[in-house]
Structure 1
Amino acid sequence: MFILTSLLQSPLSWIRAEVTASHTGAWIILSLASIGFITFIKYPISLIQLILTFTPFSRPFRIPLSKLTKNKISDKGPSAWAIITGPTGGIGKEFAIQLARAGFSLFLVGRNETKLKALELELGSHLKRSSLIKLHAIDLADPTESDWSSFEQAITAASELAPISILVNNAGLSHASPVPFESTPLAELNSITAVNVLAPVRLTKIVVPFMIRHRAGLILNIGSFSALVPTPLLATYAGTKAFLYTWSQALGTELESKGIHVRLLNTYFVASEMSKIRKSSFMIPSPKTYVRSVLSTLGLQGGAIGKAYISTGYLAHALVQWFVDRFGTEYFWLKYNLNLQKSIARRVELKRIRLEKSKKDQKLI
């Protein structure tokens, strides 16, 4: 009887094992298929999300500039202040023009007082009647404690007239051309670090308490793709932009509950004096086109999908970031950047040689 029972149980056990194995296998296949499907659809969904950023459908989710222009101190006073560093050219100048048109009073911070005064005259036609303009000259590459004290006094005086609503940390400094780190002059390293890191930190430290007072404000830090993918031969510049990236995220988390928005504007090439690119295109916009797009997508991530307090607010740049984030390894993009900078360095050197030859030829004539 025992032998018969054993013989009957053996096939049943085998059948149960086969059924269990088949169910387990099916679940594994289904799970893997689900993971693959979710991974696959994330790409088109994120791309659609990116494109929608630059359409009217995103309007309800944007930070409205109109709310930031209001004077909460006095109904009869001037409109709220927008502080802009590096305003005499490129992106900074366009921020000044477009924020003036939006109704803000302007507090412009630059190194060259003559250029600041020329800009003041130019901005006169853009300012609204309720707006003021103030100039403050300071060399952010080598400021003294006296300079910072003077700046703080000027900001304090301005804050008594109207709230400080916007700070645009735009002033930036890069290397003259691609250069190995060990060959970079120490003075150049110090200046880049001072302008790109120490100045935004000190400026923001001074300005933030005035924003907290009214529980409203917007801080825009101009970033670079050199933080997204570090750039060999521009190592120190890339490092300073990486600092701004993580600092903006930490600062944004701290200040959000106090009514202050912080955004790092992740920026690829823009046709400007700093980039040494004169001709604009869809991929390389003019400062005017770039700033207009940024101001119309405030508060949205653009191409920086899933990255807290980061915004890539120009469509072509957003598409580049979307692609870089999803395709190719970090090592691949580092090598790509290295080869790109080597190519730029060769062109710079050839241009230098041609200029020297031209000067020699002129002397012979």
Structure 2
Amino acid sequence: MVNTQDTFSLEDALKAKARELGFAAVGITAAEDDPLRAERLHDWLDEGFHGSMGWMDDRAEVRQGPQSMWPAAKSVIALGMSYAPDIDPLAEREATISVYAQGRDYHDVVKKALKALARWLVEQRPGTELKVFVDTAPVMEKPLGQAAGIGWQGKHTNLVSREHGNWLFLGAIYTTLQLSPDAPHEDRCGSCRACQDACPTDAFPAPYRLDARRCISYLTIEHHGPIPEEFREAIGSRIYGCDDCLAVCPWNKFADTAARHARLAPREELVDPPLAELLALDDAAFRAKFSGSPIKRVGRNRFVRNCLIAAGNSGNLALREQVEALTADPDPVVAEAADWALTRLTASP
């Protein structure tokens, strides 16, 4: 059993080590399941707001709380790594890639730092058991982050930090070590509804509620098959994700790009890529271009589908020949998107 003084000194050292490894925010919360958090998850799933992300429903009982996943867990260390942009995410571009996907795959960067922190913790307390997570396991990082005091879950359902705005990649370490928890963060959204009003597709049926089926990030990344026509014009130039609800948050004014992890800096060629180059990608070229990028996970066909929607919205007649060629693409979803885009471009003045 760790005594109180020893626990506090370990926590301080843990937080210092986390910052040394590139984490901008770190907090601790108890691993006990929260019935209210579980109820909100199940309500959201019952509404069907997760769309075709069946993996969320399939493992809902495990996702609902840390001890539902791992009964031996005693504490959760919640961590945030900054990817604060030094450009305006809302600036008009021919092809817009979400800020988080303009650099290296955050899964690799965050997980490497998490594992390093986990190794350090085991060195301090031999025999400690732990598990590390970053976005690929049934873990509710955002409410855990709020419980651990590193921010609060805003009206757009993303974590907001007073120091780093919305721009945090989240990770978590579950451990059998009993650590003293930090105070949970209070909600500081107040009467602001900037994120709600900014959404191009009205994906928020109410504050703190997201209908993923209407969300551009979901439609361009998670959704397989044709994108519903009702959303295509609103998608505009967004070819991978959407930052609108994040970018308008007033708390971003405190975010400092100096806190951004060096390996998360954007690749210059992904800040404003020309659509003509992207439409020309075959599978091999797609894989080569997006090696080490989170974009690689959607595959060439889904990505070119998105680029065709942007082409149809662009009014750029110089793209018409490329778009027309893609109407014969072997993938029927790509061919359908090309037909739609060609119709739009043909109708352009």
TM-score by length of 1: 0.27
Which is helix-richer, 1 or 2?
1
Higher RCO, 1 or 2 (CA under 8 Å, sep at least 6)?
A: 2
Q: Which protein shows a greater Rg?
A: 1
